Each structure stands twice: as structure tokens, then as C-alpha cells.
Amino acid sequence: MKQYEFGIVGLGVMGRNLLLNIADHGYAVAGLDLDQGKVDALANEATEKQDVKGTTSDKEFVEMLKTPRAILLLVPAGKPVDSAIAGLVPLLAEGDIIIDGGNSYFPDTDRRIKELDEEGLHFFGMGISGGEKGARFGPSMMPGGDQDAYKRLQPIFESVAAKVNGEPCVTYLGSGSAGNYVKMVHNGIEYGIMQLISEVYDIMKRGLGFDDTKLQQTFAQWNETELQSFLIEITGIVLNKKDDETGRPLINIVSDVARAKGTGKWTSQNAMDLQAPIPVIDAAVAMRDLSKYKEERVEASKKLTWDGSEGSIDLDHIKHGYYFAMLTIYAQGLEQLAIADKAYNYGLNLADIAKIWRGGCIIRATCLEDFMQAYVKNPSLPNIMLDNKIGKDLLNRQEAIRAVVKYAAGKGIPASAFMSALSYFDAYRSEKLPTNLVQAQRDYFGAHTYERTDKQGTFHTQWD
């Protein structure tokens, strides 16, 4: 039987596209799916030049693969991953490798690594970003697991990943669940930036009165500036789409009840466990939750009214305010990674993470080049806002974001991402915070003690 270099379980759109991408680069690839229709779709999409084989049989699939076998799971997170693993394990041999390419919660990855290690198998958690198009033509990939086993995967992953300046947007990130953890924080940053862009859209539409054409043109123009990024780019494309049925801009008839798959929530929950402050990402998660209370919002819009105060801003204020807030979102996510690295002993390299996020992934943006250089220059940098260049970028734009926040508050336009970003910046740059009062209050009602600024030790006071 012919031996295939790599296998993929799950031949949905993502699985098929990534499999065909690998085949494009000269590798013989096998695919497994229990749905014969998806196996047939793979056969129909493959070209004569591609060495591709699909099957619905676990046994046939495993027997087709060259040893040590390398198998990528592209199935929904949770029980489907465990089910796929359970079906494969009895057929595999010591030294074989299973890679989970879904958005699995990182503690699940740690559990699976331990369970499969007892079977003599290697398990990787690998975040994949870029969507369907990225999978087909070059994603950003974030693998973590056994470093020696990664050598089997490295040539394949580097050949199919997106390239920036000839450099592949994939690298070994660290041990254990490092790959899934980095992807989780990537998605948290994604939540924050998407919320921020939606607020920009709202301020320009409701506040400045921009029509649909001017809104679309503004985002398209911004994508030619330092704001260039995938999310700004697709915003211009989305705003330009007309509804096939009505001919109206489709965005105006899309429901404002937002959905989520949980990765943003996981980012916020874990950040609280680590005591890593990420207020803009937290706000983005909360706003998606708030959007679901549509009936209450409709009633509140009639009862809790505000006529709006006078105020003015221009497009430059919004543009530079957005850039300021966007930088703080990346700063929060990257600092969470730095804190998690110490807590979980991943061995993360933040310069490498910024490097592989420059292309292929959803949060790719021009500013990531600056982040990479900042970490190359100072690998122990605790927060990118302390880098001289990035700090200067923030200082040069803080007047703009203060104007945006003031304007939104005066108009009654919700801008939680903008407001959280500015508050985070002001808190981070404050030599003294009012939390000394919090400590005193805690000691008053709970005898929780406090520290003093003039001498060492912990203290308790009978305040009354």
C-alpha cells in the first residue's frame, strides 16, 4: 500500500483546504472523515498534480500513513476531539504523533498530552489562524508539545504556512499546551480589536453621520496607512457588500445579536486566574453578552434616554484614537502571555509569537513588525507599552483617544473598548493608584491586613 506523509482527520472546509495546501507543496496526504460526501468532495477538489487520498475507514487511514505517523485533527473542540483520539489510539504505534488543530481549551490539551504519553504517543495542541482562505493558501500556525517530535512536523508546517519576508508564520512555541494557549490569547486579542472597530463604525455612523459609502471608503483608505490589518481590510469589504434580495447594504440588515464560541471568555477567565489585567478584552466579551439581551435593550432605549451634549471630533481623532486603543489590546494580550509563561513554564518567545502573527492570521497587522523588534531588542520586556517606539506612538495619540472618549460619552454612544483602553493606559502609567483605599476598606471589614509604604511587614488596624 502507498505510504502517505501526513494525515488529516476531519474533511470539512478547513480540513480539505489545509490538506490540499499540503499537497500543493509536494507531500502525499491522506484524509479521514466518516462522511462519504466530504471524502468525495476532497476527491473532486484535488487536482491531478496533488497526491491525495481520502477514506471513511480509520484502519485504512492509519495503514496508509508513513511512520512515525503524523495526524492532524480538525474536528470541533471538546468531546469530538476525545472521540477521534479514542478511535485512532488502538491503531497507532509508539512514537506516532497526533496534533489537535482546533480551538481546544488548554487544560484539555494538558490532559491529553499526559494520557497519550502513557500510550507512547506524542500529542500536540496547535492553534491555526486564517480561516478557510488561510488554510488553503497559508495560515499562521501555533504548535506546542514535545520539541523533538516537532522535527517530524517542521518541514511540512514551514512549507504550507503563510510567509512574511520569506519567513514562515509558524514556529515551535513551547512545551505542553503552549500552542493552544497562544491561540486562545490570539482570539482574545481578536475579540478586542473587533469590538473596537465596531465602535469606530458606530461613532462615525451615529455620531458623525457618515453614510454607507463614506464609511466603506474610510476603512478602505485606512487600510493603506499604519492601520493596515486584516480586520480593517475586511471591514471595508463587508461594508461594500449589497444584499442579493433587497439591493441594500447587507450590513444594515445583519442582526446585532453577536455570537461567540468561547475562546474570548476563556481568555478573560484565565486572565483573572493569573491576575493579568486585560480590560479591553473583558469589555469585548461583555459587549457580545450584552448584545444578546435584545428585547431589554429595545425597552431601555425608550425609557433610559439621553439627548446628547454638544461636542465635536474629526476623522483624524478617530483614526489615531483607534490606533492607540489597538496597541493597548495587543499589549494586554502579550502581557498575559508573559505572565502565563511564568505560571505554566511554557518557554514562550514573544518575539517569535509576534513574528508568526504578522501573516496568515486574523490579527495580522503592520504594527506586529514593531512588536517583534521590541521583543528582539528586549526579550524580558514586561509590556510593549514600555518600548520606546511604541510608547512614543501612544503618547502622540493620547490626545486623540481622549477626544473620542469625551465625544462618545457626551453623545451617549457606547464605547467600552475605547474607554477601557484609555483607563488601562492611565492606570498603567499611574505611579500611585487609589487602591490604598481598597486595602484599608478590606482591613476594616475583614481584617485582611495591609502593607505600609514607610516600613516592611503586614499590619491590621482597629479603624473605628
Q: Catalytic residue numbers?
A: 183, 190
> Do the strands 6-9 and 29-32 form a parallel or antiparallel pair, or are they unpaired?
parallel
Tell me how far apart the terminal alpha carbons of the chain are, to the nearest angstrom: 84
Asked, as a colleague might, if the bond just before 107 is cis with ω within 30 of 0, I would say no
Is 378 annotated as ligand-binding?
no
Is 375 annotated as ligand-binding?
no
Is 69 annotated as ligand-binding?
no
DSSP for 386-445? Answer: GSHHHHHHHHHHHHHHHHHHHHHHHHT---HHHHHHHHHHHHHT-SS-THHHHHHHHHHH
DSSP for 105-146? Answer: -HHHHHHHHHHHHTTT-EEEEEEEESHHHHHHH--EEEEES-
Do 31 and 55 meet the contact criterion of CB atoms below 8 Å apart? yes
- How far is the CA of 53 from the CAs of 1, 66, 105, 193, 196, in angstroms? 12, 14, 31, 40, 44
Look at residues 166, 141, 165, 9 and name the one whose alpha carbon lies nearest to residue 80: 9
Please state, in angstroms and rounded to a whole number, the distance separating the CA atoms of residues 244 and 252.
Answer: 13
Residues in Cβ contact with 332 at an 8 Å cutoff, skipping those fewer than 6 apart: 189, 192, 276, 277, 278, 279, 280, 281, 424
Is 442 annotated as ligand-binding?
yes
Is 388 annotated as ligand-binding?
no
Is 261 annotated as ligand-binding?
yes
Is 448 annotated as ligand-binding?
yes
Annotated binding-site residues read 103, 129-131, 186-187, 191, 261, 288, 442, 448
Q: Which residues are annotated as a binding site for substrate?
A: 103, 129-131, 186-187, 191, 261, 288, 442, 448
